[in-house]
Amino acid sequence: MTEKPDANAVLNDRRLLLLSPRDNVAAARQTIAAGERILIAGQLVTVAQDIPSGHKVAVRPIAAGEKIIKYGAPIGSATRDIAPGQYVHTHNIKSDYLPTYTQRGPV
């Protein structure tokens, strides 16, 4: 099992931005539409739903309960298993401090 994702392969997809080699999520530089294919750790993955500009994509398998790492630091924990190439947001991660609010209340 590899500890680190293949950072170069991720960076070869110009639509994605990996902020730290430790990260298990990358940011989308531009909106990636559902059905488009992205290069994750050397594998082409078809995106299941739109990933808006700035939002996050998993770059390696993340197990439920595992920390989400961005900027090389934890930004919360996975609430379910997340596969590489999947959209990462409030539907599958949560804060380790305080709930996140949307206009429809806490998630």
Distance CA 51, CA 37 (A): 12
* Residues near 48 by beta carbon (within 8 Å), at least 6 away in sequence: 34, 85, 86, 87
Minimum CB–partner distance for residue 3 and another protein (Å): 22
| # of chain residues touching another protein (CB under 8 A) | 33
Query: Shortest approach of another protein to residue 103 CB, angstroms?
Result: 4
- Which of residues 6, 9, 76, 81 is near another protein by CB under 8 A? 76
Residue 13 CA to residue 4 CA, distance in Å, equals 17
Q: How far is the CB of 5 from another protein (least distance, A)?
A: 19
